[in-house]
């Protein structure tokens, strides 16, 4: 593990000299190597918790968007994460939006991305995961699979698109997330509308219940929703019997970004922290289901803030980029002290 001071003062400044997506690919290559080394770190039993029927060795997870192709699942366990959410995975392979499509904002502790669900598609990811299971190197931590709509699929065919991914990957995920809140696929957020979401949740939950052993199904929402929209979503989540909610995705509110440095895409990191926590607190007071909180967690204080707001689990993404692997241990130590 890289010591925090070394990462902050040497590793991160060096990495941030290069294109963000290039560094991401380099990091993923290193993580694939790490994933091939058998290592199952011990977790303090005090941190374990059961959420929507799954056993989590600790409540710190990796958010979707980092390991898009589920290429390095075992590495995240080695780094101390209590669970990992791979994806976003679409039914069809797609290259995503043109590069450059990731932009750092170091002075704000933020990142803007407009990746556009670049991935090799549900069939290719399924084959990779099936091979991992056959190898005997499958992680012992819960694995979530985050599903999105293929860009070329018309919105009126979105439900069938999600169902194709869900059916193909069903045997390979411990829980599933329907991502209808990314700002980087045209029209996707319209699926958060009452009628559209009612259709989608009804169809996927029907497919889920038809299985011999249904899996936990969650919904990931945007931070830019009005309270009335969130209320409608919470009612649908309850009516259709989902297992929980993830709050939140990236934001389209770029008001903190200085003029001349803004980019099209979703903003994540520290600028999202307060709004994400506000939504987590609102949802947890009204929904009798587990909530996974994500958005602006850069330190133990940020993680505890989300848990105190009512979250059952938390996820890291931009904070992991800025703080490095030691952030997981820092949060776990704070939880043990508490």
**Whether residue 135 lies in the annotated active site:** no
Question: Helix or strand or coil: residue 2?
Answer: coil
The two three-digit tokens of residue 211, written as one number: 């299985």
Longest dimension (CA), the chain: 54
Question: Which residue is it, tokens 């899996």?
Answer: 215
Distance CA 303, CA 332 (A): 10
Q: Which helix (H) or strand (E) holds 98?
A: none
The Cα 321–Cα 302 span in angstroms is: 15
Give the Cβ contact number of residue 226 at 10 Å.
8
Does residue 21 contact residue 101 with C-beta atoms inside 8 Å?
Answer: yes
Got the DSSP string for 193-256? SHHHHHHHHHHHHHHHHTSSSPPPEEEEE-TT--HHHHHHHHHHHHHTT--EEEE---BS--TT
**Catalytic residue from among 182, 243, 268, 276:** 182
Q: What is the rounded CA–CA span in Å between residue 174 and residue 196?
A: 26
**Cβ proximity of 43 and 82 under 8 Å:** yes
| Cβ-contact 54, 174 below 8 angstroms | yes
Catalytic residues: 182
């Amino acid at each position: 593990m890289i010591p925090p001071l070394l990462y902050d003062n040497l590793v991160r400044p060096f990495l941030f000299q290069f294109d963000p997506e290039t560094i991401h690919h380099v990091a993923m290559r290193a993580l694939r190597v790490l994933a091939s080394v058998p290592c199952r770190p011990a977790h303090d039993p005090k941190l374990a918790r059961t959420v929507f029927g799954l056993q989590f060795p600790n409540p710190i997870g990796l958010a979707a968007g980092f390991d898009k192709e589920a290429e390095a699942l075992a590495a995240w366990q080695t780094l101390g994460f209590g669970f990992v959410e791979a994806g976003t995975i679409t039914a069809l392979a797609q290259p995503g939006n043109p590069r450059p499509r990731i932009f750092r904002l170091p002075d704000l502790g933020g990142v803007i991305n407009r990746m556009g669900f670049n991935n090799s598609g549900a069939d290719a990811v399924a084959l990779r995961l099936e091979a991992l299971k056959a190898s005997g190197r499958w992680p012992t931590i819960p694995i979530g699979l985050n599903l999105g709509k293929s860009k070329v699929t018309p919105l009126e065919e979105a439900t069938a698109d999600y169902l194709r991914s869900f059916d193909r990957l069903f045997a390979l995920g411990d829980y599933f997330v329907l991502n209808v809140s990314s700002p980087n696929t045209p029209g996707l957020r319209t699926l958060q509308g009452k009628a559209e979401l009612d259709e989608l949740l009804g169809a996927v939950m029907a497919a889920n219940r038809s299985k011999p052993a249904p899996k936990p199904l969650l919904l990931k929402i945007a931070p830019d929703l009005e309270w009335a929209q969130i209320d409608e979503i919470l009612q649908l989540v309850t009516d259709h019997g989902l297992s929980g909610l993830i709050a939140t995705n990236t934001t389209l509110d770029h008001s903190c970004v200085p003029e001349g440095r803004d980019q099209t895409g979703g903003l994540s990191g520290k600028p999202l922290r307060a709004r994400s926590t506000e939504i987590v607190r609102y949802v947890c007071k009204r929904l009798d289901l587990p909530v996974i909180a994500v958005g602006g967690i850069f330190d133990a204080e940020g993680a505890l803030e989300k848990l105190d707001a009512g979250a059952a689990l938390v996820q890291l993404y931009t904070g992991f980029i800025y703080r490095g692997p030691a952030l997981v241990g820092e949060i776990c130590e704070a939880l043990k002290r508490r």
